[in-house]
Each structure stands twice: as C-alpha cells, then as structure tokens.
Amino acid sequence: MAQVSSIAEEQASTPLSPSKSVTLRIARFNPEHDSERKFMEFTIPYKKWTTVLDIILEVKKYFDHSVAVRYSCRQATCGSCGMKINGKPMLACFTKITELDSDVITVEPMNNFPIIRDLAVRFERLFESHHKIKPYLIRDDSEITSNEKEFLQSPKEVEQYIQFANCIKCGLCNSACPTMATDSSFVGPQALAQAYRYVADSRDKGKNSRLKIIDESHGIWRCHFAGSCSQVCPKGVDPAMGIQLLRGYLLGFRS
C-alpha cells in the first residue's frame, strides 16, 4: 500500500506545466464540398512521451472538435491511425513528438487512399486486395474433422511466417510504395506480404492458387524492390522481403 501511495505522489509531483510547445499543422479537406486542402495551425504544449495522436486529440478537445481522425487502440495494434507525418506515413499513436526532431509537425491523410475527410481515409481497396489473396488456410480437411485434432507446427515452421502475421493492416506500406503512387490497380505490398504469409505456412495447401492470383500484370511483377514499404512498417513485417521470397517461388528459385 505504501508503495502505491508513493507512486501516486510521484505522479502528482510531475510538473504539469510543460516547457515546450510544437506547432501542429493539420490538413483539412472535405471532398464533398472543398476544392482544395487547407492547413490549420495550432500551438500545443507537449512532454517527453506525448504522441502525435495525443496532440491531435488535444486540438479536438480544446480547439476544433470537427477535425476528422481515425484511431482506437492508441498502442500500434488496431492499425487505424496511419497518416502522413512530416511527409512520411506513420502511426500517429506510435510516433512521439520528440522523435520527430522538429518544431513544426504537419499531419496529412495517407497518400494512395481516397480521403473521407481531413485525416481519415478509405480502406476499401486495401481490404479488397487483402481478401483477393485468400488470407486463410486452404486445405481440404480441417482441425475439426482431422484425426490429429490440431495441425502441429515446429518452431522453425512458425518462424517462416510469424513475422508476416504481425500485419495490422494499417496501410502505411501501401502509402509509401512508389508503384501505388501511380498504379490504381496494383495489388500492393500489404496484400503481397500476406500472400507470402500463407504460402510460407506449412499448414496451408493453397500455394498454387495464390501464386496464380498474384502472377498478373498488376500483381507481383509491378514491385521494383524499392523497399519503402519495409522502411515504414511499424510492426516489422518487412513486406519487401516477403514479396521477393514470393517471387522466388514464381521464378523457380524456391519450391
């Protein structure tokens, strides 16, 4: 109990008036009636641990509640809060002001996604592409009908795909991809990485059907290994690796 109260005292003694402020520029745009994007500026105090999402919510709370932003978990798990922060796609809840090393923070909606309003974008295309590659185990039997009860895997087999199962569908990779920047039909790094995730899973038997889906003109061959997807991924998925390994199957380097 004594320990609890000392923690409470310590928290209460944290200085409430922060010493630093940052200028937050928020892109405002409603495609239904605006012809161009405008920026609103706010000066917001911050502390060592304040995130970009925190200051956006501060604006909503005290200055302008109409700013549209999508978020939920606040811990890089739901994949909702992707946006362009100082020119690069990042998760707002996972980006601290201090790590940006700038007195001005500009937040804009992610590129390569249609804008709903302000910072909120539509995810239909990402989900359609994700669905297209059949993101589930394909095999004739199931854990319910099989005699084995469950499909066992060795730790080594799990290692083959577990990294790719980390994907939270935030779309940052699709936003950074140079092919997505110009090609409206490209399946995108998120879905391709997920195709690899299932192809590499020893329980899955759908490799050929999945490879067939991505082996088309706006499929895997549009990736030019620029690697930007992997550089922005907040979960260590490394889509660029998955895509090149996947291409290895199609080129006959892997079986």
Partner 1 sequence: MEHRDENKEGIGGMINPRRYGIERVAYLLMRLSGLGLLAYFIGHIYETSLILKGEVGWSEFLELTQTTEGHVLLAIVIAMCVFHTVNGIRVMLGEGGVGVGKPARPDYPYIPASQNVKHKIGIYSAIVLAAIAMLYGLGVMFGE
Which spans of this chain sit near ligand SF4 (rule: CB under 6 A)? 167-173, 190, 193, 233, 235, 237, 239
Alpha carbon of 215 to those of 28, 116, 229: distances in Å? 39, 32, 20
Rounded to a whole number of angstroms, the minimum distance from the CB of residue 89 to ligand SF4 is: 8
Lookup result for tokens 């998925």: 237
Of the pair 69, 91, the CB lying nearest ligand SF4 is at: 91
Of the pair 171, 219, the CB lying nearest ligand SF4 is at: 171
Q: In this structure, are residues 192 and 173 in contact, taking their beta carbons and an 8 Å threshold?
A: no
Rounded to a whole number of angstroms, the minimum distance from the CB of residue 25 to ligand SF4 is: 24
Q: What is the DSSP string of 118-132?
A: TTEE--HHHHHHHHH
Binders of ligand FES among 134-173, rule CB under 6 A?
A: none
Rounded to a whole number of angstroms, the minimum distance from the CB of residue 133 to partner 1 is: 17
Rounded to a whole number of angstroms, the minimum distance from the CB of residue 212 to partner 1 is: 19
CA 213 – CA 195 distance, rounded (Å): 9
Q: Which two tokens stand for residue 91?
A: 């998760």
Which of ligand SF4, ligand FES, partner 1, none lies near 117, with the C-beta cut-off 5 to 8 A by kind?
A: none
Identify which of 211, 216, 202 has the alpha carbon closest to the alpha carbon of residue 245.
211
Handedness of CA 67, 22, 83, 222 (dihedral sign): positive
- Asked if 225 touches partner 1 (CB under 8 A), the answer is yes
Of the pair 51, 230, the CB lying nearest partner 1 is at: 230
Q: Which residues pair with 27 in a beta bridge?
A: 39
Runs of H (alpha helix) within the chain: 2-12, 52-62, 97-100, 124-132, 155-159, 172-176, 189-199, 207-214, 228-232, 239-251
CA 130 – CA 167 distance, rounded (Å): 11
Q: Which of 118, 161, 189, 201 binds partner 1 (CB under 8 A)?
A: 161
- Asked if 199 touches partner 1 (CB under 8 A), the answer is no
Rounded to a whole number of angstroms, the minimum distance from the CB of residue 8 to partner 1 is: 29
Of the candidate spans 20-28, 65-73, 111-119, 197-205, the one that interacts with ligand FES by CB under 6 A turns out to be: 65-73
CA 143 – CA 43 distance, rounded (Å): 56
- Asked if 50 touches partner 1 (CB under 8 A), the answer is no
Q: Which of 25, 28, 47, 74 binds ligand FES (CB under 6 A)?
A: 74
Q: Which of 93, 180, 191, 195 binds partner 1 (CB under 8 A)?
A: 180
**What φ, ψ does residue 17 adopt, rounded to 5°?**
-95, 105
Which positions lie near partner 1, rule CB under 8 A? 31, 87-88, 109-115, 121-122, 125, 159-164, 166, 176, 178-182, 184, 200, 223-228, 230-238, 240-242, 244-245, 247-248, 251, 253-254
